[in-house]
């Protein structure tokens, strides 16, 4: 047991996404990324939107669905070592508020009057954006909890 810990939470990682202000911090970070990309002079607006979408989804995939375990030792005897952060959220309970928010947020960036609209429904952009969106939506489905395709990222 981690002596000197101020709570009885076995894995503090599960509560991070429910903490106060993290949704706002996440939205601000995405907006900041978009603004930085918009300031690069030689990129056109459709390219910037696609880039924002792709980089955001890539980062989300990396931090939520690739990195496994906790960055600190937990007293749960290794139960969370093989789980990604998404699977650890709220101890695996599906359809909580944070999970719904993080599922809807990339869809919102991608579709809802934003990305597709600004890229003027161009085919190439559409393919790239949808591919990237699917790569970040599929791991969030409850059916994919703990699933590792082709043994990638299993251990």
Q: Which residues bind another protein (CB under 8 A)?
A: 1-8, 12, 15-16, 19-22, 24-25, 28-29, 67-73, 81
- Smaller CB separation from another protein, 82 or 137: 82
Of 37, 23, 50, 33, nearest to 105 by C-alpha is: 23
| Cβ proximity of 121 and 115 under 8 Å | no
Contact assessment for residue 151 and residue 145, using Cβ atoms and an 8 Å cutoff: no
- Nearer of residues 17 and 133 to another protein, judged by Cβ: 17
Joined together, the tokens standing for residue 59 give 């980062």
Min separation Cβ 10 and another protein, Å: 10
- In the complex, what is the shortest distance from the CB of residue 131 to another protein, in angstroms, rounded to a whole number? 26
Distance CA 140, CA 117 (A): 25
Shortest distance, position 90 Cβ to another protein, whole Å: 15
Q: How far is the CB of 2 from another protein (least distance, A)?
A: 7
Nearer to another protein, 36 or 141 (CB): 36
CA distances from 115 to 20, 46, 97, 99, 130 (A): 28, 8, 24, 22, 10
Q: Residue 73 or 123: which CB sits closer to another protein?
A: 73
Q: Cα(152)–Cα(2) distance, rounded to whole angstroms? A: 32
């Amino acid at each position: 047991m981690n002596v000197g810990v101020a709570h009885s939470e076995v894995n503090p990682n599960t509560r991070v996404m429910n903490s106060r202000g993290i949704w706002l911090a996440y939205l601000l970070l995405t907006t900041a990324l978009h603004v930085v990309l918009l300031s690069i002079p030689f990129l056109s607006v459709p390219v910037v939107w696609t880039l924002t979408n792709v980089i955001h989804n890539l980062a989300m995939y990396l931090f939520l669905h690739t990195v496994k375990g906790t960055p600190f030792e937990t007293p749960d005897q290794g139960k969370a070592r093989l789980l990604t952060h998404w699977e650890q959220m709220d101890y695996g309970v599906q359809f909580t508020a944070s999970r719904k928010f993080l599922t809807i947020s990339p869809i919102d960036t991608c579709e809802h009057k934003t990305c597709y609209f600004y890229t003027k429904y161009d085919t190439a952009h559409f393919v790239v954006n949808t591919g990237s969106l699917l790569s970040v939506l599929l791991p969030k489905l409850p059916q994919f909890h703990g699933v590792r395709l082709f043994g990638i990222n299993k251990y």
